[in-house]
Amino acid sequence: MKPLREIVNLPPQGRRDICEEVVIATVDAVRGGYFNSIKPYSKHYKAVKTAGEATPPGVSQRSTSGKVDLTLTGDMLDGFKFLRLVKDGGLIGWDAVQSEKVEKNADMGRAITTETNALLPPVKKYFDKIIDTAFDRNAAKVSGHRNPIVIKL
């Protein structure tokens, strides 16, 4: 079977749009508390953060949530962006300053993205649903059937 990139040839803007949607879905999942059940904050850090005293003097603290939202000042997740198009897709990530924070969180068991797991499970589930829905809709248009088409493998 051919790789998906050989079957679907997305124009550059389409690849960019998908990358930007991945960024939005990832940030929403993280700020929504995805890591709560995986690696909660320590009791001390949670107390300091919820009291609004986790940043150095003069640095604004955006979040006082006790849930693991990886948002203290907001800079790290705000810095997660579409970077550029590459041959078969797009590159998303952080600048060097924010990358250090990302690596530190990964070292603490809160890896947002890795080479082997590019998408967080809720982000993958979100995109799987979009792809399945689009496939079903397009298959129905092509076949003229409203009912699902069953393909036995």
pLDDT at 123 over 70: yes
Model confidence band, residue 134 (pLDDT cutoffs 50, 70, 90)? confident
The closest alpha carbon to 112, from 48, 38, 61, belongs to 38
pLDDT recorded at residue 64: 96
Model confidence band, residue 10 (pLDDT cutoffs 50, 70, 90)? confident
Residue that has been written with the tokens 């993280």 in this structure: 30
pLDDT mean across residues, the chain: 86
pLDDT at 146 over 80: no
pLDDT recorded at residue 149: 59
pLDDT recorded at residue 8: 61
DSSP letters, the chain, are ---HHHH----HHHHHHHHHHHHHHHHHHHHTTTTTTTSPPPHHHHHHHHTT--SPTT-------SS----SSSHHHHT-EEEEEETTEEEEE--HHHHHHHHHHHHTT--S--SS--S-HHHHHHHHHHHHHHHHHHHHHHH--SSPPP---
Model confidence band, residue 145 (pLDDT cutoffs 50, 70, 90)? low
Spatial CB neighbours of 24, under 8 Å, sequence gap ≥ 6: none
φ and ψ of 49, to 5 deg: -65, -45
Look up residue 145 and give its two tokens. Answer: 């059937």
Look up residue 26 and give its two tokens. Answer: 């990832």
pLDDT recorded at residue 28: 96
Model confidence over 54-82: pLDDT tens digits?
999 999 999 999 999 999 999 999 999 99
Q: 81: which strand partners?
A: 93
pLDDT at 2 over 60: no
